[in-house]
A and B are shown apart, each in its own frame.
Chain A
Amino acid sequence: MGWMVDRYRTLRSLLWRERLEDDVAEELEFHLAMRTDELVAQGMSPEQARAEALRRFGDVDTYRRQTHVIDQDIAHERRRIELWDMVQRETRQALRSLARSPTFAVMTVLTLALGLGATTALYSVVDAVVLRPLPYAAPEQLVSLDSRVPGVSPEARWGLSEAGYFYFAREAPSLASLGVFSARSASLASDAGPVRVDTAWVSASMMDVLRAQPALGRLLPRESDLPGAPRIAVLGHAFWVRQYGADPRVLGTVVHLDDVPTEIVGVMAPGLHLPEGTVDVWAPLTLDPARPPVNAHWLQGVGRLRDGVSAARAQAELTGLDRRLPELFPSAYSEEFMRQKGFATDVTPLKRHVLGDVDRVLWILFGAVGLVLLIACANVANLFLVRAESRRRELAVRSALGAARADLSWHALTESLLLCLVAGALGLLLAWSALRLLTFLAPDHLPRLGEVGLDAHGVVFTFAISVIAGVVFGLFPLTQLGRSLSALRESGRGLTSSRRRNLVRWGMVVGQMGLAVVLLTAAGLMLRSFWGLYHVDSGLKTESALTFDFVLPGTRYGSYDAANRFHRELLTRLEAVPGVTHAGATSRLPLRNFNGCAALFTEHGPLGDDSVCLPTPSASPGAFKALGIPLLEGREFTWEDLDGKADGVVVTKALAERLWPGQDPLGKGLRGNGHEPPYYRVIGVTGDIRAQGLDKPPTQAVFFPLAPAENLPLWGPSRVMSVVIRTSTSRPEQLAPVVRSIMKELDATVPVANLETLDRVVSQSPSVARATFSLLLLGIAGGMALLLSAVGLYGVISFIVGQRRGEIGIRVALGARASQVAGMVVLQVLRFAGLGIALGLVGALSMSHLLSALLFEVSPTDPVVLAGVCALLVLIAALASYGPARRASRVDPAEVLRSE
Chain B
Amino acid sequence: MRIDLLQGTLDMLILKALTGGPMHGYAVTSWLQRTTDDALQVEEGSLYPALHRMTKRGWVKSDWGVSENNRRARFYTLTAEGKRQLKEESTSWARLTEAVAKVLHSRPATQVA
Nearest chain B CB to A457's CB is how many angstroms away? 41
Within 60-115 of A, Cβ neighbours of B (below 8 Å) are at: 60, 62-64, 66-67, 70-71, 73-74, 77
Checking A30, A59, A70 against B45 with a beta-carbon cut-off of 8 angstroms, the contacting residue is A59
Question: Is A23 located at the chain interface by the 8 A CB criterion?
Answer: yes
Among B29-75, those with CB < 8 Å from A are 29, 43-46, 48-49, 52-53, 55-56, 67, 69, 71-74
> B46, A74: Cβ atoms under 8 Å?
no
Does A31 lie within 8 Å of B29, measured CB to CB?
A: yes
A632 to B44, CA, bound (A): 112
CB neighbours of A64 from chain B (8 A): 48
Closest to A34 in B: B26
**Residue in B45, B52, B71 whose beta carbon sits within 8 Å of that of A33 in the complex:** B71
CB pair B73–A35 under 8 Å, yes or no, is no
B30 to chain A, nearest CB (A): 8
Contacts of B48 in A (CB 8 A): 24, 27-28, 31, 63-64, 66-67
- Between B29, B43, B48, B73, the greatest number of chain A beta carbons within 10 A of the residue's beta carbon is seen for B48
Chain B contacts of A58 at CB under 8 A? 43-46
When the two chains form their complex, are residues A77 and B56 in contact, meaning their CB atoms are under 8 A apart?
yes
Across-interface contacts of B73 in A (CB, < 8 A): 27, 30
Give chain A interface residues in 579-596, CB to chain B under 8 Å: none
Q: Is A26 interfacial (CB-CB < 8 Å)?
A: yes
Residues of B within 8 A of A339 (CB): none
Is A639 an interface position by the 8 A CB rule? no
* Residue in contact with B25 in the complex, picked from A27, A56, A70, A74, CB distance below 8 Å: A27
In the complex, A389 Cα to B67 Cα: how many Å?
Answer: 55
Q: Which residues of A contact B44 (CB under 8 A)?
A: 31, 35, 56-58
Q: Please, what's the 1-or-0 string for A32-45, where 1 marks a CB less than 8 Å from any CB in chain B?
A: 01110100000000
Q: Residues of B contacting A70 with CB < 8 Å?
A: 49, 52-53, 55-56
The CA-CA distance from A70 to B55 in the complex, in Å, is 9
Chain A residues positioned under 8 Å from B52 (CB to CB):
67, 70-71, 74
B45 pairs with A60, CB closer than 8 A: yes
B56 touching A30, Cβ below 8 Å: no
Q: How far is the CB of B22 from chain A (nearest CB, A)?
A: 14
Contact B45 A74 (CB under 8 A): no
- Provide the residues of chain A in CB contact with B43, threshold 8 Å: 56-59
Contact with B along A660-673 (1 / 0, CB 8 A): 00000000000000
Contact partner of B71 (CB less than 8 A), chosen from A30, A62, A77, is A30
Interface residues as binary, B1-44 with A (CB distance below 8 Å gives 1, 0 otherwise): 00000000000000000000000111001000000000000011
| Interface size bracket, B side | 20 to 34
Please count how many residues in chain A sit with their CB below 8 Å of the partner chain's CB atoms: 26
Chain B residues with Cβ below 8 Å from A57 are 43-45
A23 to B72 CA separation, bound complex (whole angstroms)? 11
A480 CB to nearest B CB, Å: 42
Grouping DSSP codes into helix (H, G, I), strand (E, B) and loop, the B interface class, with mixed when no group exceeds half, is helix
Contacting residues of chain A (144-166) with chain B, CB-CB under 8 angstroms: none
Give the distance in Å from the alpha carbon of A206 to the alpha carbon of B65 in the complex.
77
Give the complex CA separation of A37 and B71 in angstroms. Answer: 13
In the complex the two chains form, what is the Cα distance from A28 to B49 in whole Å? 11
Closest partner residue, chain B, to A62 (CB atom)? B45
Residues of B within 8 A of A33 (CB): 71
Are the C-beta atoms of B72 and A26 separated by less than 8 Å? yes
Most A CB atoms within 10 A — which of B46, B49, B53?
B49
Q: Is the CB of A74 within 8 A of B55?
A: yes
CB neighbours (8 Å) of B67 from chain A are 30, 34
Residues from chain B with Cβ under 8 Å of A24 in the complex: 48
A865 to B46 Cα, complex, angstroms: 85
Quick one: closest B residue to A38, CB to CB? B30
Q: How far is the CB of A607 from chain B (nearest CB, A)?
A: 93
Task: Convert B64-89 into 0s and 1s, putting 1 for each residue whose CB lies closer than 8 angstroms to a CB of A.
Answer: 00010101111000000000000000
Taking a contact as CB atoms under 8 Å apart, the answer to whether A31 and B56 are in contact is no
Of A37, A62, A74, most buried by chain B (CB within 10 Å of CB) is: A74
Question: Taking each of A33, A70, A71, which has the highest tally of chain B beta carbons within 10 Å of its own beta carbon?
Answer: A70
Closest chain A residue to B49, Cβ basis? A66
Provide the residues of chain B in CB contact with A23, threshold 8 Å.
74
Please give, as numbers and ranges, the residues of chain A lying within 8 Å of B56 by CB-CB distance. Answer: 70, 73-74, 77
Residues on B with beta carbons closer than 8 Å to the beta carbon of A60: 45
Determine if A31 and B53 form an interchain contact, defined as CB atoms under 8 angstroms apart: no
Chain A residues with CB under 8 A of B55: 70, 74
> Would you give the 0/1 interface string for A165-193, flagging 1 where the beta carbon is closer than 8 Å to chain B?
00000000000000000000000000000
Q: Are A30 and B72 in contact (CB under 8 A)?
A: yes
B49 touches A30 (CB 8 A): no
CA separation between A27 and B46, bound complex, in Å?
A: 13
Residues of A contacting B46 with CB < 8 Å?
Answer: 58, 63
B12 to chain A, nearest CB (A): 18
State whether A30 touches B53 (Cβ < 8 A).
no
Alpha-carbon gap, A621 to B103, bound state (A): 114
CB contact list, A1-36 vs B, under 8 A: 23-24, 26-28, 30-31, 33-35
Q: Give the docked Cα–Cα distance between A26 and B45 (Å).
A: 13
Contacts of B45 in A (CB 8 A): 28, 31, 57-60, 62-63
Bound state CA distance, A91 and B101, in angstroms?
A: 59
A64-B24 Cα distance, complex, nearest whole Å = 16
B26: chain A residues within 8 A (beta carbon): 30-31, 34-35
Q: For the complex, what is the distance from the CA of A74 to the CA of B53, rounded to whole Å? A: 9
Q: How far is the CA of A600 from the CA of B43 in the complex (A)?
A: 103
Chain A residues positioned under 8 Å from B53 (CB to CB):
70
User: Which residue of A has the minimal Cβ distance to B62?
Assistant: A27
Chain B residues lying within 8 Å of A73, measured Cβ to Cβ, are 56
How far apart sit A31 and B25, CA to CA, in the bound complex (Å)? 7
**B28 closest partner in A (C-beta):** A31
Which of A30, A35, A37 has a CB less than 8 Å from the CB of B24?
A30
Alpha-carbon separation in the docked complex, A141 to B71 (Å)? 70
Give every chain A residue within 8 A of B74 (Cβ-Cβ): 23, 27, 30
User: Separation in Å of the A235 CB from the closest CB of chain B?
Assistant: 59
Q: Is the CB of B49 within 8 A of A67?
A: yes
Chain B residues closer than 8 Å to A26, beta-carbon distance = 72
- Cα(A32)–Cα(B17), bound, Å: 20
Closest residue on chain A to residue B41 by CB atoms: A56
Give Cα A30–Cα B24 distance, bound, in whole angstroms.
Answer: 9
Chain B min CB distance to A62 (Å):
8
Residue of A nearest to B64 (CB): A23
User: Roughly how many angstroms separate A74 CA and B48 CA in the complex, as a whole number?
Assistant: 14
- For the complex, give the distance between the alpha carbons of A71 and B55 in Å: 9
Chain B: CB-nearest residue to A61: B45
What are 14 sample pairs from A and B whose C-beta atoms fall under 8 A apart? Answer: A27-B73, A30-B24, A30-B67, A30-B71, A31-B45, A34-B67, A35-B26, A56-B44, A57-B43, A57-B45, A58-B43, A58-B46, A63-B45, A70-B56
Across chains A and B, which 4 residue pairs bring their CB atoms closest together, nearest first?
A58-B43, A63-B45, A66-B49, A58-B45
Interface set of B (CB-CB < 8 Å, partner A): 24-26, 29, 43-46, 48-49, 52-53, 55-56, 67, 69, 71-74
List 17 additional contacts besides A56-B44, A60-B45; criterion CB under 8 Å: A23-B74, A27-B48, A27-B73, A28-B45, A30-B67, A30-B72, A31-B44, A33-B71, A34-B71, A56-B43, A57-B43, A63-B48, A67-B48, A67-B49, A67-B52, A74-B52, A77-B56
